[in-house]
Amino acid sequence: MTATVTMRQIAERAGVSIGTVSNVINETAIVRPKLRERVIEAIRSMGYQPSALAQGLRRNRTNMLGMVIPDITNPFFPGVVRGVEDVAYKRSFRVILCNADNDPSKEASYVRELRSYHIAGLLIIPAAGADIAGHLRAYASASVPVVCIDRVPDGWKGDAVLVANAEGAYLATRHLIQMGHTRLAVITGPLKLTNAAERLKGFTRALNEARIEIGPEFVQEARFDTESGYQAALRLLRMLPRPTAIFACNDLMAFGVLQAARELSLRCPEDLSIAGFDSLEFTKFTDPSLTSVYQPGYQLGATAARLLLQRVDGMRFAAKKVLLPTELQKRNSVGPPNAIVPEGVGRIKVRERSDLARRKQQV
Ligand code: RIB
């Protein structure tokens, strides 16, 4: 019923002209309070729903925000979207969600297309390898604000809300080292992504601090998904000597490592310690539960949406880079290494390892 009510019918019911109805709905002119009340009463009683699209076209801006995410099947991203949506909803904005499937060309066409919807602003978690910064700058020149979340594309100097990736990775790696591990491997995300590169930096920093050297084969690049984490873990665990601990730079890849370890009859954490990144809800339910670096997905989204809406409201300030903290959450997938490593293997400074083991015993 609501869809078929027209302005003409409202005008007839209220006993005013269509122009007066339009002025009330679109706030295009001041209408005498008595007439205004009659129009509003008619709108209410007839259940009239104005077309948001038509209104948006008239104002050259809708109450819609565009959001492009790289992978809707990754359980980390819905939390981010939820944060965006909650903030947007409270301000009567609606979110058009696009899933790029980690495909740069799909991402670029979504970003281009969203402009034709006259969105008020755009939020984007860029996909791997995407050369999207140019498209985003085109938004800026059209005065449509953009905020990047979680990762920034090359050459992006605008607003971004990120987490302390390097710090989180450093904490996880230091924890593995404090447990006595020296043969540590890392499975990174796609290193073109800023967050994947930052996490590798954090891992390396912890190793450097403890003067632990690992061979390049202990650094495996994967795709932030379970399958590539599983394949990378198989490669690592078939090496001789194999690592006693693996830091997977997101939880999905850590789940792949758990699966590979199970298939190779390696016990976790007795034969292999595993740490992840994200600390998804599921990490409590794996066997063993997964030690992981928590990053506040919901807050990432909510903070980015608030920043975007400040821009939409016309606030002017220098480009902001907001950095949210990460936190290591210790569960049961990390323990001390099982076997004593023979001197000289795996390009590890064994002396350093013994120092650590001694220190641990003293604790
Ligand atoms: O799990 C997906 C990963 O990619 C997360 O760690 C998040 O930071 C995203 O960039």
pLDDT, tens only, 3-17? 578 888 898 999 998
Q: Are residues 191 and 118 part of one domain? A: no
Q: Is residue 362 part of a domain?
A: no
Atom of ligand 1 nearest to the CA of 76: 1
pLDDT of residue 361: 39
Round to whole Å and give the CA distance between 123 and 84: 9
Q: What's the whole-number mean pLDDT along residues 71-95?
A: 97
Q: Are residues 38 and 92 part of one domain? A: no
pLDDT of residue 26: 75
Amino acid at 276: G
CA-angle at 337, arms to 336 and 339, nearest 5°: 140
pLDDT of residue 276: 98
pLDDT of residue 9: 87
Whether the upstream peptide bond of residue 269 has omega within 30° of 0, thus cis, is: yes
Q: Does 293 score more than 70 pLDDT? A: yes
Q: Are residues 200 and 133 part of one domain? A: no
Strands 219-221, 184-188: pairing kind:
parallel
Pocket of ligand 1 (CB under 6 A): 74, 76, 150-151, 195, 224, 250, 252, 277-278
Round to whole Å and give the CA distance between 171 and 169: 5
**Residue 250 banded pLDDT, cuts 50, 70, 90:** very high
- Rounded to the nearest 5 percent, the helix, strand and coil shares of the chain are 50, 15, 35
Question: Which CATH number characterizes residue 102's domain?
Answer: 3.40.50.2300
Mean pLDDT of the chain: 89
**How many domains does one find in the chain?**
3
pLDDT, tens only, 295-307? 999 999 999 999 9
Tally helices (H) and strands (E) across the chain. Answer: 13, 12
Q: Are residues 345 and 239 part of one domain? A: yes
Question: Which CATH number characterizes residue 42's domain?
Answer: 1.10.260.40
Whole-model pTM: value is 0.82
Give the helix/strand (H/E) hosting 69.
strand 64-69
pLDDT of residue 123: 98
Q: Are residues 187 and 245 part of one domain? A: yes
Q: Which one is predicted more confidently, 179 or 354?
A: 179
Q: Is residue 169 part of a domain?
A: yes
* From 149, 199, 277, 323, mutation site for ligand 1 pocket: most ligand atoms within 8 A of C-beta: 277
Q: Are residues 336 and 237 part of one domain? A: yes
- The size of the chain, in residues, is 363
Q: Is residue 195 part of a domain?
A: yes
Q: Is residue 1 part of a domain?
A: no
Q: What's the whole-number mean pLDDT along residues 85-102?
A: 97
Q: Are residues 280 and 267 part of one domain? A: yes
* From 74, 101, 282, mutation site for ligand 1 pocket: most ligand atoms within 8 A of C-beta: 74
Round to whole Å and give the CA distance between 196 and 211: 23
pLDDT of residue 75: 96
Contact 278, 295 (CB under 8 A): yes
In the chain, % of residues over pLDDT 70 = 88
Query: In whole angstroms, how large is the CA radius of gyration of the chain?
Result: 27
pLDDT of residue 56: 66
Q: Is residue 358 part of a domain?
A: no
Contact 111, 122 (CB under 8 A): yes
Q: Does 59 score more than 80 pLDDT? A: no
Sorted by sequence, the CB contacts under 8 Å of residue 346 that are 6+ apart come out as: 183, 214, 215, 218, 241
Q: Is residue 354 part of a domain?
A: no
Q: Are residues 68 and 183 part of one domain? A: no
What distance in angstroms lies between residue 134's CA and the mean position of ligand 1's atoms?
Answer: 23
Q: Are residues 183 and 241 part of one domain? A: yes
Q: Are residues 133 and 220 part of one domain? A: no
Phi, psi values for residue 155, rounded to 5°: 80, 10
Q: Domain span at residue 11?
A: 7-50
Q: Which one is predicted more confidently, 213 or 54?
A: 213
Query: 199: closest CA among 276, 260, 145?
Result: 276
Q: Are residues 140 and 111 part of one domain? A: yes
Q: Are residues 117 and 254 part of one domain? A: no
Q: Is residue 2 part of a domain?
A: no
Q: Is residue 91 part of a domain?
A: yes
Using left for φ > 0, alpha for ψ between -120 and 50, and beta otherwise, residue 245 falls in: beta
* From 77, 99, 125, 150, mutation site for ligand 1 pocket: most ligand atoms within 8 A of C-beta: 150
pLDDT, tens only, 192-220? 999 999 999 999 999 999 999 999 999 99
**Residue 362 banded pLDDT, cuts 50, 70, 90:** very low
Q: Whose CA is nearest to atom 10 of ligand 1?
A: 150
